[in-house]
Structure 1
Amino acid sequence: MKESVTLKLFGLLGIVSVISEMMGTTIIPLGNIGKIIILPMIFAMIIAVIFTPDALGRIVPVLKNICSEKEVKASEEVIMLVLLLLGAKLGTSAGPNIIKLIESGPALVLQEFGNLGTMLIGLPIALMLGMKREAVGATVSICREPTLGLVSEIYGINSPEGLGVMGTYMVGNLFGTIFFGLLASLAANTNIHPYALAMACGMGSGSMMTAASQSLAESIPVMKEEILAYAATSNILTNVTGLYMELLIALPVANKLYKIYSKVFMKKN
């Protein structure tokens, strides 16, 4: 990766970040239902998508080279470094609230069984939509970094299962942050305990967790610190214990269900 490309990439990201922060947090009231909170992070993602070479080139051809394919390729290599910084920040949120987290008992670990819902619900839908073995990789979990590594190691990234997990991973990067940010603000108006909602924000994705927990914290400001702590710890545990949940339970069950559902939704495997 050339130094000039890296500097240009971080320069573009810096500009997008400043613009997003200037736009600030937008609150859209929904009457008795509650409110939708759109964080600067969501604006940043939207701007970043607009400024991809293909999208920008179609809108304003003369500006196509502002962000070229070189910067897009460089971002793939830079993202892991950025995730390390995010992981350090998550640790600082969990540490000061360790006593409250211990008091929650086994809930933070047992919640991993909830992640099986992604596969139980998504697998038959994927098969109905015409997917084959790609459905196993796409629905075995919410498909973040641990799942990407697991499926790549077992099946190979260019396998049907690898293509499925990569597809879900990319879609999650583009739309997951927006979706979970909005979902969390709506869930705050239910009777579900804020701690449970905070734990649900930890889905193994730093960006999705941040969007969801920040929206939830903005909706329940009196419990902001506790919400962020539970969400950060849940996210860390999901990355660790979730990997074993996927390897030992989710993936075998997904393969078993695939054999059953494929006979119903597909004429042939």
Structure 2
Amino acid sequence: MSVIKETMQLWRLHLAVLVLAIIAELIGIQRIPIGIGAILLLPLLYAFVMAALMNPNIVKPAGKLIRSREVKAASPLIVIAIMPFIAKFGTTIGPAIDKIIAAGPALLLQELGNLGTVLIAFPIAVWVLGLGREAIGATFSIAREPNIAIIADRYTLKSPEGTGVMGVYVIGTLFGTFVFAVLASIFATADIFDPRSLAMACGVGSGSMMAACSGALATALPEMKDELLALAGASNLLTYATGLYAGLFIALPLVEKLYNATRGRHETAARAAAGE
């Protein structure tokens, strides 16, 4: 009974979600040519932007409609809302199991692609943005829940490394879905990469990001929809299974060594000079 009462008290949130969903679906899919390909604007993106504008932490006047209570309640509901889509992936993996097995080595080795956060983001974080040890937590992964657990266990979330991983987590939560959907539509229509490789790249260990990415691919290439969704779902599942170990035993030690060999050396020299 208390659950029903609590749900009724959040009527503003449920009404806002219903209205935004209807508006997004009425707008439909919009295609914007950009030379090498096209950007596909999906209803998910419209809903994301409109919901962000209704967040009182972003647009203060929105607090008259959506209060902080609704904002806090919305966070765990994201997981529930994405479950039907994730379940749909499960139904596509089975029929496409032969194609998934055929892509076996590529599907397994694609996990190494997550190390790109170290190779690309780390130099930018340290030498361009001037981050300290925050760079370790921010760049060893895409900072999803398992990665936060690693940093929390190794350094605690109150440490500079914890600040780094939580910063990337928040930014990824706010903008990751939008960025993934746009990039996927551009690459799918540009015909640069094999669509199957793009589908595998969607599985980064985030349900919402995978849903946006694979949804954009399926919209751009409807003739391959089932295969792309199956590969994306299998890739995401493997990332959950292997990503924790790749981050713990490969990415984190690597980024620590890179930091100690570069900025860490300068920090040690600066402390020594200060002590003198």
Q: How many residues align?
A: 264
Instruction: Measure how far apart 1:4 and its partner are.
Output: 4.0
Structure 1 residues 263, 163: closer, same or farther in 2, change over 3 A?
Answer: closer
* Paired residues of 1:124 and 1:261 also in contact (CA < 8 A): no
Structure 2 residue 52 is matched with structure 1 residue 53: no
- Residue 73 of structure 1 aligns to a residue in which SS? helix
Q: 1:106-117 to 2 correspondence within 5 Å? A: 106-117=105-116
- Residue 53 of structure 1 aligns to a residue in which SS? coil
> For structure 1, which runs of at least 5 residues remain unmatched after alignment?
none
- Code of the aligned partner of 1:148: I
Q: Deviations over 1:179-211 (max 9, x none)?
A: 221211221223422111111111111222122
Q: 1:230-269 to 2 correspondence within 5 Å? A: 230-263=231-264, 268=270
Superposed CA RMSD in Å reads: 2.2
* Paired residues of 2:24 and 2:46 also in contact (CA < 8 A): yes
Query: How far apart in 2 are the matches of 1:170 and 1:251?
Result: 20
Give the corresponding residue for 1:39.
42
Structure 1 residues 235, 221: closer, same or farther in 2, change over 3 A?
Answer: same
Q: 1:164-243 to 2 correspondence within 5 Å? A: 164-188=164-188, 189-243=190-244
Structure 2 residue 24 is matched with structure 1 residue 20: yes
Report the more deviating stretch, 38-47 or 167-176: 167-176
Query: How far apart in 2 are the matches of 1:116 and 1:209?
Result: 18
Give the corresponding residue for 2:121.
122
Report the more deviating stretch, 118-127 or 154-163: 154-163
Instruction: Measure how far apart 1:174 and its partner are.
Output: 1.8
Structure 1 residues 68, 212: closer, same or farther in 2, change over 3 A?
Answer: same
Higher Cα radius of gyration: 2
Report the more deviating stretch, 78-87 or 98-107: 78-87
Q: 1:59-138 to 2 correspondence within 5 Å? A: 61=61, 64-128=63-127, 129-138=129-138
* Paired residues of 1:144 and 1:204 also in contact (CA < 8 A): yes
* Paired residues of 2:85 and 2:211 also in contact (CA < 8 A): no
Give the corresponding residue for 2:274.
none
* Paired residues of 1:136 and 1:255 also in contact (CA < 8 A): yes
Identical columns (%): 45
Instruction: Measure how far apart 1:85 and its partner are.
Output: 4.4
Tell me the TM-score normalized by structure 1.
Answer: 0.89
* Paired residues of 1:176 and 1:208 also in contact (CA < 8 A): yes
- Code of the aligned partner of 2:140: V
Tell me the TM-score normalized by structure 2.
Answer: 0.87
